[in-house]
Structure 1
Amino acid sequence: MVLPLAVTDPADLARLGRLFGAMWTVKRAVQRDARARVDAYWAAYRERTEQGAKTVRQRLGLSREALERCAYKHLEDSGHLMHHASKALAMHMADEVWNGVQRHLFAGNSGRRHGRPRVGRWHDFTRIPGRARSHTAEKKWETFRLVGSLHGHALAYSGGGRHEVRQPRRMPKPSVPAGTVPTGKATASGRPGMRKATWWDHAGPLAVVFAGGPDSARGDLVLPVRVPQGPGQWARVEHFLADLGRWHKVDLVRRRKASAPGGWAYEAHLMVLGPGYASPAVRRMRRHAAELDRVGGVDGNVSNLSVVSFPAGLDPDQGAPMSSEIVLTGAEKARLEKAAMKRRGRARALDRSRRATNTAQYGLSKRQRFRAEQRAAKGLPEKTVTVPGGARAARTDRVPKQAYRHDRLSNVYQDMRARQSENAASAAEYRRHRARSVAREIIIAHGPVLVVEDCDIRTWYRLWGKRLSQTTPGMLISALDVECRAADGRIVRASTWSTALSQHCLCGERVHKTLRDREHRCAACGLAGKRDLVSAALAAFVRLTDTDDPTTAYLDTVMSRHAQIMYGEGLEEALRESTTPSPKPVRRSGRVAVPSQRETSAHRTAARRPRATPDETRSMRDHTGKPGHRPGRDPQLALW
């Protein structure tokens, strides 16, 4: 759970800035050492062959303990870093670096290794990992400790429970309880033992405390927590914060925010022992999806995502084939184009600001030189150019004479760059939210048992990078995998070499198609439909000898031909266009109701209409204007 920190004290902001600066220095030093050791490891080919890879790693210090000792050494040798960071934080940061090195040295379950470790940038350093809480030893301090209780927080900011939680803009910092508390043990005289109160006894408003650090002489670093108080948020807050025994780990995170003091907003990311929160509506969706006895196939493409599902028993009485196409509508394309235009405008503004501040590093443009020559020919004085538009001053090999990191940057430039980073993070979060919503809509219509081709989408970006950044098929499939597992299902990956779904027909014949051919036409059986929907339908009939090995996949043409005979025109209709009535469930009386099979058949046989986005759906609803009445949904209107 993300807990915003209401840090308004300039002294606390300064301490947080120094803490992040010190930890960034430690991480950069450990990353450089780890990268040098990895290069030496791969260069020692003969030694790895003769003595073994483990011996070489031990000699070079490629282990978690060795990187931790490396971090300690950098911290002690620097001197000034000991005033801001502690050895515990340096150890956790070295463990983070080792995780990246480990993914490079050793292959994962997929048999692939990550790339060579790189040294990150200052603006990409956003997280300081904390130490996990010990649930066996009592009162063992973590790196960042979440103190207080949700009950005490609610009482402090709700007037003793008389109204809803109302947290002020400037939240006061809680302090250690004054006085003494009983220890629970009796002394030799028989009297109850007493001790001085500490943060462990604080039961008031929630706060994140960093105590015992290098700046302990200045007091503990206390950061008040702002609990989400929007509509529908309290159930999620109680899931994470009601039980103090579930708190496990707190990481200190910062994110770019141009309007915040210093350009950063600070957050505490809380991890609990237990599952994440899912709203009642999402849980009902997943339960309904788990009860669907259907099997489907998914075909990911550059411009769309196609899904076709069948009843598991291939019985017409149990249901009909259903198909869905996830494409970008006109409204979404317009929104993406508007966002791209704004992004290009910000990039041009940043370039102008950099050129205006570093005029000596840029030459004049063709038009500027022409105007200068005209003024010189007329005998006019030379005019100073404030924003040169030419190329950057470079050597003969086109390497800039001065590195970009040495340029002077104005405050306006830094503010614009912060806003650009903030907008990019917001757009990425929107894409993730859209992927989760689409995945839930797919499983509620087609079930959680799906098959998808095992494609490396990274190769697609070399040809269609701009298009893929809009449709995000990889993100959709990853979100679909998560939702399938949450609904007690699974999405299985099948190799494209052993199945060749785009080159086959349901009857079993091979139909050759190029990438330009988007329609499927079989001369043997006469089946015609969209290429992507036919591939998704064939994916439903892929069988695997080992579900964890995509290379063991093969196409069961007998069952696909059987389904083609059993469903006939219904299947052909599903392969021509989307037949899903509305992937999003219909809301009735504040509850999520799943469309019945009768409603599904009525929607499928109704006249087709252009698909609309959720924003268009809300704008086309019939608003009655009655108090407390929720607008209805057009039964023939689909989301995609």
Structure 2
Amino acid sequence: MVLPLTVTDPADLHRLNGLFGAMWSLKRAVQRDARAKVDAYWAAFHERNEHGAKTVRQRLGLSREALERCAYKHLEDSGHLKHHASKALAMHIADEVWNGVSRHLFPDATGHRFGRPKTGRWHDFTRIPGRARSHTTENKWETFRLVGTLHGHVMAHTGGGQHALMQPRRMPTPAKPDGKVPTGKLMASGKPQMRKATWWDHAGPLAVVFAGGPDGSRGDFVLPVLIPQGAGQWERVRHFLSHPSAWHKVDLVRRRKASALGGWVYEAHLMVLGPGYSSPAVRQMRNRAAALDRIGGVDGNVSNMSIVSFPAQLGGGTPVSTEIKLTDAERARLEKEAKKRRGRARALERSRRATNAGQYVLSKKQTARAARRAAKGLAPKMVTVPGGARATRSDGGPKQAYRRDRLSAHYRTQRARQADAAASAAEHRRHRARLVAREIITAHGSVLVIEDCDIRTWYRLWGKRLARTTPGMLISALKVECEAAGGRLIPASTWSTALSQHCLCGERVNKTLRDREHKCIACGLIGKRDLVSAALAAFVRFTDVDDPKTAFLDTAASRDAQITYVQALEEALRESTTPSPNPPRGAGRVAVPRQRRATSAPRTAGQRNRATPDEPRHVRDHAGTPGPRTACSPQLTLR
């Protein structure tokens, strides 16, 4: 669960930036050491053949423990890093570096290795991993710890339960408990044994606490937590935060945001030992998909995606089809976003040229104008933004590397805003893909067959179109939803099935990529090429389900389905037959009936306005309000 952190105090912001800077310096040092050791390992060719690769790795220190000792040494030798980081954080950073090194040294199940480990960039360093909490030893969090309770947080920001949950923009920093508390043991005199209060006794608002380094000179670093609010958020918050014993690990994450103070926003990513949260609407859709006894096929294309499913027992029900493609309104929106993106890119290029005018030559138009002014005896006009190419050396390379250019503050701000817009658009596409995938399994079931295609090769020919429709993202979301509903998205080899070149009757109908309509001379079947391929995918059988190469087309079953569903099948192969809605924002919530009180006594006005300690008033009053719904459209849309 992502917990936003409210860092508004300049002192806290400075200390947080110092922590990220120290951890970045430490990680970069360990990465450089690991990179040198890897180079020495591959250079010791004869030693590896004579004494073995394991012996060479032990001599060079290519192991998890050796990299951890290397990180400890860098931390101890530096004079300033010990004021920010701790040995636990250094160990976890070294473990992350070792994960990349191990993927380079040892091949995976397919026999492939990752490339040579590199040193990352400062702006790509966004996560400080925390160490997992000990569930066997009481009160042991070695790095970042989450303190407080959800009950205490709600009580602190609802006025004792009298008002709605109102979290201020500048969250107050919780104070460490003082005084003494009983330990649960008795002394010889019979009095309870007391101890000094610590953060483990804090039962107020939620906060993330860091011990502040191995020397402990800077004290505890406390960051108040802002729990997410909004429609449908309270049940999710209660799922993750109501059981402190299940809290496992906290990672400190920063994210670029141009409008934030310092250009970064900070979050605490909480890992909980237990199942993830799914809303009641999502669980209902998955249960409905698991109850469907249907077999279906998926045909992925560059511009659309087609799904056709049949009842598992032929003779009952009818075949249904769904075609996912961009509507005119979505195309217009994508064109508008692309125009904005091109405008931002041009603005960034103009800013770079204006700041580094000496690194660019004049354009042909600017050169001709300068020649005309010189011919007329006029003074040369100063050009602030040269429009020509980059100044190059004799070998064709730029005289100055782009990374050495001077960048204005406006350039950096616009670049951060461009990154924010790109990240927001990507998240929106992923969210839409999940919604569309749930609609697909609700209509066609959770057992689907799809052709085993490498979409990366499609980008060589249709990269711009694929960037708009994102079929790979939709297929990945569909695979996740099928598995969540108890089914599976099964890939089938295109070489052994050739779905686009066959008909349901079993005859082979050769088509080129230009032919988008299926016409069979033998049986007279006419339909869209993609829908026919999706219908054939439903009748693909496997010798080994885990091996796509063992797939083959069961022409007898497809012919039987064609005879059983004559008219209904022709209608399904001509156009989409499922009135699947385009899920609007906020849709998918189901109405939950309110639980009446056991007593029959009427509630007073004060009792009606008072929320329970674990449930803010605005959540209780609107828990049963269903989300907005819109009329169903004849086809799914993909954004």
TM-score, length-normalised on structure 1? 0.89
Distance in 2, matches of 1:295 and 1:422, equals 41
Superposed, 1:155-304 pairs within 5 Å as 155-214=155-214, 216-304=216-304
1:64 maps onto 2:69 in alignment: no
Q: Deviations over 1:357-405 (max 9, x none)?
A: 1122122121122222222222222222211222222222322222222
Distance in 1, matches of 2:336 and 2:123, equals 26
Q: Deviations over 1:234-257 (max 9, x none)?
A: 111101111111111111111111
Identify if the C-alpha distance between structure 1 residues 489 and 52 changes in structure 2 by more than 3 Å, giving closer, same or farther. farther
1:420 maps onto 2:418 in alignment: yes
The one-letter code of the counterpart of 1:251 is D
Identify if the C-alpha distance between structure 1 residues 486 and 67 changes in structure 2 by more than 3 Å, giving closer, same or farther. same
For residue 254 of structure 2, give the secondary structure of its aligned residue in structure 1: strand
Q: Which runs of 5+ in 2 are unaligned?
A: 593-624
Distance in 2, matches of 1:521 and 1:56, equals 65
The one-letter code of the counterpart of 1:259 is S
Distance in 2, matches of 1:173 and 1:159, equals 17
Distance in 2, matches of 1:303 and 1:215, equals 59
Residue of structure 1 equivalent to 2:99: 99
TM-aligned CA deviation for residue 591 of structure 1: 4.4
Residue of structure 1 equivalent to 2:513: 515
Residue of structure 2 equivalent to 1:31: 31
Kindly indicate whether the alpha-carbon contact (under 8 Å) linking 2:576 and 2:634 is maintained by their aligned counterparts in 1: no
Residue of structure 1 equivalent to 2:446: 448
Kindly indicate whether the alpha-carbon contact (under 8 Å) linking 2:182 and 2:192 is maintained by their aligned counterparts in 1: yes
Residue of structure 2 equivalent to 1:18: 18
1:458 maps onto 2:466 in alignment: no
Distance in 2, matches of 1:278 and 1:577, equals 33
For residue 269 of structure 1, give the secondary structure of its aligned residue in structure 2: strand
Aligned match for 1:504, one of 502, 505, 515: 502
The one-letter code of the counterpart of 1:573 is E
Aligned match for 1:355, one of 350, 353, 356: 353
Kindly indicate whether the alpha-carbon contact (under 8 Å) linking 2:143 and 2:210 is maintained by their aligned counterparts in 1: yes
TM-aligned CA deviation for residue 585 of structure 1: 8.5
Identify if the C-alpha distance between structure 1 residues 410 and 471 changes in structure 2 by more than 3 Å, giving closer, same or farther. same
Kindly indicate whether the alpha-carbon contact (under 8 Å) linking 2:493 and 2:551 is maintained by their aligned counterparts in 1: yes
Distance in 2, matches of 1:43 and 1:498, equals 44
Kindly indicate whether the alpha-carbon contact (under 8 Å) linking 1:444 and 1:583 is maintained by their aligned counterparts in 2: no
Distance in 1, matches of 2:60 and 2:524, equals 65
Residue of structure 2 equivalent to 1:575: 573
Superposed, 1:144-159 pairs within 5 Å as 144-159=144-159
TM-aligned CA deviation for residue 333 of structure 1: 1.2
The one-letter code of the counterpart of 1:87 is K
The one-letter code of the counterpart of 1:12 is D
Q: Deviations over 1:446-477 (max 9, x none)?
A: 00011112211112222222211111111111
Residue of structure 1 equivalent to 2:331: 333
Kindly indicate whether the alpha-carbon contact (under 8 Å) linking 2:582 and 2:633 is maintained by their aligned counterparts in 1: no
Residue of structure 1 equivalent to 2:564: 566
For residue 34 of structure 2, give the secondary structure of its aligned residue in structure 1: helix
Farther-moved stretch of structure 1 (184-193 vs 431-440): 184-193
The one-letter code of the counterpart of 2:312 is A
Kindly indicate whether the alpha-carbon contact (under 8 Å) linking 1:281 and 1:591 is maintained by their aligned counterparts in 2: no
Residue of structure 2 equivalent to 1:543: 541
Superposed, 1:299-318 pairs within 5 Å as 299-315=299-315, 317=316
Farther-moved stretch of structure 1 (215-224 vs 578-587): 578-587
Q: Deviations over 1:134-154 (max 9, x none)?
A: 111111123111110000000
The one-letter code of the counterpart of 1:275 is P
Residue of structure 2 equivalent to 1:127: 127
Distance in 1, matches of 2:562 and 2:114, equals 43
The one-letter code of the counterpart of 2:14 is A
Kindly indicate whether the alpha-carbon contact (under 8 Å) linking 2:449 and 2:491 is maintained by their aligned counterparts in 1: yes
Q: Deviations over 1:150-205 (max 9, x none)?
A: 00000000010011110111111001111111111223443221111111110100
Farther-moved stretch of structure 1 (424-433 vs 368-377): 368-377
| Aligned-residue identity in percent | 76
The one-letter code of the counterpart of 1:393 is A
Distance in 2, matches of 1:413 and 1:585, equals 38
Residue of structure 1 equivalent to 2:487: 489
For residue 183 of structure 1, give the secondary structure of its aligned residue in structure 2: strand
Distance in 2, matches of 1:460 and 1:199, equals 55
Q: Deviations over 1:38-75 (max 9, x none)?
A: 45555666665665554444444433223323323333
Farther-moved stretch of structure 1 (160-169 vs 366-375): 366-375
The one-letter code of the counterpart of 1:387 is V
Paired residues in the alignment total 603
Kindly indicate whether the alpha-carbon contact (under 8 Å) linking 2:436 and 2:636 is maintained by their aligned counterparts in 1: no
Farther-moved stretch of structure 1 (169-178 vs 109-118): 109-118
Kindly indicate whether the alpha-carbon contact (under 8 Å) linking 2:306 and 2:322 is maintained by their aligned counterparts in 1: yes
Farther-moved stretch of structure 1 (145-154 vs 629-638): 629-638
Farther-moved stretch of structure 1 (403-412 vs 438-447): 403-412
For residue 229 of structure 2, give the secondary structure of its aligned residue in structure 1: coil
Distance in 2, matches of 1:564 and 1:475, equals 32
Kindly indicate whether the alpha-carbon contact (under 8 Å) linking 1:442 and 1:583 is maintained by their aligned counterparts in 2: no
Distance in 1, matches of 2:438 and 2:463, equals 26
Kindly indicate whether the alpha-carbon contact (under 8 Å) linking 1:240 and 1:272 is maintained by their aligned counterparts in 2: yes
Aligned match for 1:400, one of 398, 401, 415: 398
Distance in 2, matches of 1:338 and 1:250, equals 40
Identify if the C-alpha distance between structure 1 residues 424 and 154 changes in structure 2 by more than 3 Å, giving closer, same or farther. same
TM-aligned CA deviation for residue 580 of structure 1: 1.0
For residue 218 of structure 1, give the secondary structure of its aligned residue in structure 2: coil
Kindly indicate whether the alpha-carbon contact (under 8 Å) linking 1:519 and 1:529 is maintained by their aligned counterparts in 2: yes
For residue 479 of structure 2, give the secondary structure of its aligned residue in structure 1: helix
Distance in 1, matches of 2:52 and 2:308, equals 50
TM-aligned CA deviation for residue 486 of structure 1: 1.1
Kindly indicate whether the alpha-carbon contact (under 8 Å) linking 2:133 and 2:248 is maintained by their aligned counterparts in 1: yes
Residue of structure 2 equivalent to 1:85: 85
Identify if the C-alpha distance between structure 1 residues 527 and 118 changes in structure 2 by more than 3 Å, giving closer, same or farther. farther
Distance in 2, matches of 1:539 and 1:48, equals 50
Kindly indicate whether the alpha-carbon contact (under 8 Å) linking 2:281 and 2:589 is maintained by their aligned counterparts in 1: no
Distance in 2, matches of 1:634 and 1:227, equals 34
The one-letter code of the counterpart of 2:543 is T
Kindly indicate whether the alpha-carbon contact (under 8 Å) linking 1:84 and 1:215 is maintained by their aligned counterparts in 2: no
TM-score, length-normalised on structure 2? 0.89
Q: Deviations over 1:570-603 (max 9, x none)?
A: 11221121111225699899549xxxxxxxxxxx
TM-aligned CA deviation for residue 479 of structure 1: 0.7
The answer to which structure, 1 or 2, has the higher relative contact order (CA under 8 A, 6+ apart) is 2
TM-aligned CA deviation for residue 214 of structure 1: 4.8
Kindly indicate whether the alpha-carbon contact (under 8 Å) linking 1:454 and 1:495 is maintained by their aligned counterparts in 2: yes
Distance in 1, matches of 2:111 and 2:6, equals 44
TM-aligned CA deviation for residue 481 of structure 1: 1.0
Q: Deviations over 1:402-437 (max 9, x none)?
A: 222222111111111111111111111101101100
